[in-house]
Structure 1
């Protein structure tokens, strides 16, 4: 809540104390989220102040721009979301089919893809397993040099079968 002079005081909860027992990474993530919240709040307040000082004509132009931006985002939102899913899936080594997904579920409040939701979705898929290599079977197809025979000569085949011993 802004005070009488229009300045928003910093939040009362200290994010560092909330995650002191956690890892260093979690501490920095919490600080980053807190700073992002502050930035969004400050941006909203600045936009409200700008709108209060606008004339009616400026307000109409700003509203038309906002409407056009929202319409363009609405047209491209599913394509952006599909691209985000495919990009994160490719980096994770996963194949994800997006044909039957409700891509609107992955949109954030601003109409853009929510990367955290996409990351959670991609993390739920297991990487495609590599096909196991089957042993090469003699007699099943053409094999070079593994059998030790160079021809189908009966004497050579007998020597190969008996290990060179006379029966």
Structure 2
């Protein structure tokens, strides 16, 4: 049944002061929970940033390691090419690359140290200008077609020094081969 207007309910009257105290209590608890939530959220975000930083650092380290490997590989190829070019321009013979530490000519950033290469190439011995000994020994016919050949009679009239000189000039080649 509906109560008529103006009449008070028959039940106990609510205590307004107690209700106000309960509202204030719950507001205070809500504010504390909200502050705690903000603290925990801030800490969680900081931990996420730290975790991301660790992941980014790991990713950066992996990238740097891979770059170093690639730079090292191509740096040694570039250093080998530079060594060959310097040796060719200096006119010296380069030892086999298998026996060289080509990586010592490459800097950490992958660039080739041209000064070190130049010092190394300049330390290599220069090739001999001409052979020290006669290179035509035992190779068969040595005289050219334009060299006049001497006979046994010509040799009989010559001094030993003239014979040696004529032999060096190839004038006795046909005689030595048995053609005359």
TM-score scaled to structure 1, two decimals?
0.44
Task: Give 1 or 2: higher helix fraction.
Answer: 2
Larger Rg: 2
